[in-house]
Amino acid sequence: MKNAWIFLVLFGATSWTANAQQQLRRSQYVTNTYLANPAVAGTEPGMVLSSTFRHQWAGFEGAPSTMLLSGHQALPNGLGAGVILYKDDMGGAIHQTGIELTGAYSILLNNQDAVSFGLSMKGNQFVFDGTDLEVYQPNDPSLPGTMESTFGVDFNAGMMVYGKDYYFGMSVFNLLQEKLNVAGVDDDQNRLVRHYHFMGSYLYNVSKLVAVQSSALLRMTDATSAQLDLNMRAIVNGTVWAGMGFRPQDAFVLSTGVNYGAFTLGYNYDITVGENMLSAHSHELSFGYFLPVRSAFRSRPGSGRKARATDRILK
């Protein structure tokens, strides 16, 4: 990758600092909320498997891309478990791979509502390759000319209150703010920073055939300005949906998807509306599979009913 612009955009300055590191961005947080909050693990009436590929700034050489595999399942006695595998290329010279293991516990508040708590342990391999960069200041000591790799362990936590047609909650990522130990960076800044997610959604049944779901996700860190994701989609017969979303000063999002039996396919198209002129287009494709489990394992409200597409489409 021979383009310093990606490096500058991702980190905000020619002097490299790990403080601008961000969690993986996904426009399809609506269809796989587990990636935004570990408390979601086990809140579905079955096993949920999902894969996602995101290609950001399409058409721009060395543009970021992300691959994700995830799965979570309800266990007996209100317990839940999940796992996430990811590979995040943040622009050629910088990439990370890792795994997250989640444990969660749901408490029934009444016949329709519950609260869930989740904790994930994360192992993250962070790599910076300084051997293939063209920079404006070749002698900048903060830009190592070698490939560096560091592995760290951190934790994510979350809570969520949810019912048949709604959820809201919050999550915190990088609780320990693990140090990256990359050369040329001030020791106080040479670490991951905490990320905070505040999220909510409500599903309104317009008729027996059509439902409308509104969702929001607020991302915050100590190092960057807050970013708000707003989304609304119409769902027909619990099977087909189309929607739109908006991230102020960033992107306008179009989405569509279909449930076919136990399978789910979703697509998002992001159109840049902010000051980023690298590319106006980003694509995100996801594929999921839902496997119901016996009722003794179900930990969400309404667990006595047979799982339907409209029940699981909320999360």
pTM score > 0.85 for this model?
A: no
Integer-rounded Cα Rg, in Å, for the chain is 20
Q: What is the DSSP string of 118-156?
A: EEEEEEEEEEEEGGG---S-TT-TTS-SSEEEEEEEEEE
Q: Is 271 helix (H, G, I), strand (E, B) or coil?
A: strand
User: What pLDDT is stored for residue 179 in this prediction?
Assistant: 76
Task: Give the chain's domains with CATH numbers.
Answer: 4-312 (2.40.160.40)
**Tens-binned pLDDT, residue by residue, of the chain (315 aa):** 334 333 333 333 223 333 344 556 566 688 889 999 999 999 988 899 999 998 877 767 767 888 999 999 999 889 999 999 999 887 767 888 999 999 999 999 987 899 999 999 999 988 877 776 666 676 666 666 677 888 889 999 999 999 989 999 999 999 998 877 666 555 566 777 889 999 999 999 999 999 999 999 999 988 788 889 999 999 999 899 999 999 888 889 999 999 998 999 999 998 888 776 666 788 899 999 998 876 544 444 444 333 333 444 444
CA 277, 9, 268, 213 torsion: positive or negative?
A: negative
| Partners of residue 149 on adjacent β-strands | 127
**Distance, CA of 189 to CA of 90 (rounded, Å):** 19
Terminal alpha carbon distance of the chain: 37
Distance, CA of 236 to CA of 102 (rounded, Å): 32
260, β-bridge pairs: 263
Q: d(Cα 23, Cα 120) in Å, to the nearest integer?
A: 14
Q: Which two tokens stand for residue 168?
A: 């809201």
pLDDT of residue 147: 77
Coil vs helix vs strand at 268: strand
CA distance 113 to 43: 11
Count of Cβ atoms closer than 10 Å to residue 259 Cβ: 21
